[in-house]
Amino acid sequence: MAVIGGGNSGIEAAIDLAGIVEHVTVLEFADTLRADEVLQRKARSMANIDIISSAMTTEVLGDGNRVTGLTWEDRTNGQLNQLNVAGIFVQIGLMPNTEWLGDSIALTDRGEIPVDNRGQTSVPGVFAAGDVTDAAYKQIIIAMGSGATASLGAFDHLIRSSADQELEAVA
Ligand SMILES: Cc1cc2nc3c(=O)[nH]c(=O)nc-3n(C[C@H](O)[C@H](O)[C@H](O)COP(=O)(O)OP(=O)(O)OC[C@H]3O[C@@H](n4cnc5c(N)ncnc54)[C@H](O)[C@@H]3O)c2cc1C
């Protein structure tokens, strides 16, 4: 197997895969891995994981039915190499689709939407949930929970703002 990307996701995937497949090769574009030291140590301690840095994957190879390998360029000397693998896991990260928000809502430097513990964004009355937020872990159960939080937060916000309007009307 090949794992493309040497960040936390890539090294975690390599460690998981190494327990169930014959061999795993990690290909990292940069000259060093970005994964946490503890993950790197674990991966390097596993005999069936190889890590290649400065490796730009250039092509996925197949026989028309299945993956047979990939080609990668050694960024230090431009040499092209071929790696024969039965499967490829691409773990090079995801960017949240928030460009369309422009400056209307505060975003982190990764483009995620920061939310408070009720799911509210920097704009009162605007709520966000799921992977697009600055939640630490991008997992289905966490996205679902944050959806429930944001719904309750929005409900609470509406109840309170309509109560405030009624009070203003009475005054
Ligand atoms: C390869 C892969 C494997 C994964 N495996 C697991 C796993 O095993 N277990 C696990 O728990 N999690 C896994 N995840 C993470 C999980 O998929 C996410 O945490 C979860 O889908 C987040 O849900 P979400 O609703 O926040 O976002 P998404 O599921 O990404 O849904 C967002 C939706 O919004 C739509 N959208 C985007 N922009 C706009 C717009 N401007 N207007 C309208 N709609 C828009 C998108 O088309 C999409 O349908 C995996 C993710 C990936 C990529």
Q: What is the pLDDT along the chain (171 residues), one digit of tens a residue?
A: 999 999 999 999 999 999 999 999 999 999 999 999 999 999 999 999 999 999 999 999 999 999 999 999 999 999 999 999 999 999 998 889 999 999 999 999 999 999 999 999 999 999 999 999 999 989 999 999 999 999 999 999 999 987 777 777 776
What total number of domains does the chain contain?
A: 2
- Residue 123 to residue 153: CA distance in whole angstroms: 13
Give the Cα separation of 98 and 82 in Å (integer): 37
- 131 CA distance to ligand 1 centroid (A)? 7
CATH code of the domain covering residue 85: 3.50.50.60
**pLDDT score at 95:** 86
Q: How far apart are CA 62 and CA 20, in angstroms?
A: 22
Regarding whether 83 and 105 lie in a shared domain, the answer is: no
- Using a 6 Å cutoff on CB, does residue 12 contact ligand 1? no
> How many other C-beta atoms lie within 10 A of the C-beta of residue 128?
24
Write down the pLDDT at residue 128.
Answer: 98
The domain in which residue 11 lies consists of 2-90
Q: Is the CB of 100 under 6 A from ligand 1?
A: yes
